[in-house]
Structure 1
Amino acid sequence: MTSRELEAMLGLLGRARHIVIGTDASSRPEGEQIAAAWGGLVLATVTWPETAASWLRQARRFATPEPDVWVVSATPASWAGMTRRLLLSTSWSPHRTVAASALEGFPLPGLRGARADGTTWENR
């Protein structure tokens, strides 16, 4: 994750009081980088596998704390499985989610995030 991407992601968090961070195993260092840079209250950090039977346990841990904002750093492949489970089984909202650059173009209305160059994107 570039410093510009991190700065843009922090800007997208706005006035959030608390967040939940979600990553897959390969993106976990980015999640730790986000938590350290933000410095606010992280209600939970949830890591999920690239592939899983259902992602139900991870989806419930990710969605249950009801943060102001969910923050995601993951590969599109792992996020696809997690997203399906979140939409089917939780009250999670993509409109309250900020994603890292790897998820730009992920087909989910409301999802927004930052690019490596520090610009932002939002799916409509």
Structure 2
Amino acid sequence: MRRVPAPEVRPVESQPGEHHHTMSSLTGPPASGSPLIPAEELAAYGDLPCPAPHTAPELNALVGLLTPAKSRIETVAVGHSRDPASRAAADAFAAAWKARGGKVLARVDWPESAASWLRPARRLTAEEPDAWVMAAAPLGFAQLARRLRHSTDWDPARTVAFAALRDSRLPALAGPDTLHGLRGATAEGGTWAVRHRWVTSYPPPGSTA
């Protein structure tokens, strides 16, 4: 189990027992004013990686995060970047979720650069889904997440994401506690979670790593 502080990339050992923590929603959106990330902050983080194609273990782990014992999650909204890997991941999740009898209330995409990200933010939250699923590149998602927290009732603790968003720089880029509670799957079939400024990774079930 590893956790990585943003903006540092090198992981450090997590504290004992941290994998038992629970996720709770935040009490309010970021401070008033524009939620857009200033250009100088974007420049400080350099080039962020493009999403890689998702894997079958990753998809299975993501579905597993939404379907624990006694889960009441039935409806989801799926959001994704416009790159081919993110589109394919969103397609695969939507098909898997519908095959389980679940409902996809909305499917929303967004560009990596936009004037405000308000339209996709409102579309993602309009139907009040039980959960949100994100397949996205880090930069565009950071901007969207800031808009979601600023202008909607979106809850990161009810959101799961593909491995492309497991980037140690993402919590700092999105802003203080904007992503607290966000969880996701790794390409190997493990999981990860954002807790304040930390990204903590967990190995696949049965793994000794």
Which TM-score band (shorter chain)? over 0.9
**Aligned letter for 2:193?**
E
Distance 2:136 2:59 in 1: 14
| Matched residue, 1:57 | 119
Distance 1:17 1:37 in 2: 13
| Matched residue, 1:21 | 78
Distance 2:127 2:87 in 1: 19
Q: Deviations over 1:67-104 (max 9, x none)?
A: 11100000001101101110110000000000110111
Distance 2:181 2:78 in 1: 18
**Aligned letter for 1:36?**
A
**Aligned letter for 1:13?**
L
Of residues 172, 187, 192, the one that matches 1:121 is: 192
| Matched residue, 2:150 | 88
Q: Which has the larger radius of gyration?
A: 2
- Pair 1:98 & 2:146 matched: no
Report how many residues are paired. 124
**Aligned letter for 2:113?**
T
Q: Which has the higher helix share?
A: 1
Distance 1:58 1:109 in 2: 21
Q: Deviations over 1:16-66 (max 9, x none)?
A: 111000001011121011001111210000011111000101100011111
**Aligned letter for 1:78?**
G
Give structure 1 regions of 4+ aligned residues with deviation exceeding 3 angstroms. none
What is the identity percentage for the equivalent residue pairs of Structure 1 and Structure 2?
52
Deviation of 1:7 after TM superposition, in Å, equals 0.1
1:10-49 mapped onto 2 (5 Å cutoff): 10-14=63-67, 15=71, 16-26=73-83, 27-39=86-98, 40-49=102-111
- Pair 1:7 & 2:69 matched: no
**Aligned letter for 2:63?**
L
Distance 2:89 2:194 in 1: 22
Deviates more, 1:99-108 or 1:111-120: 99-108
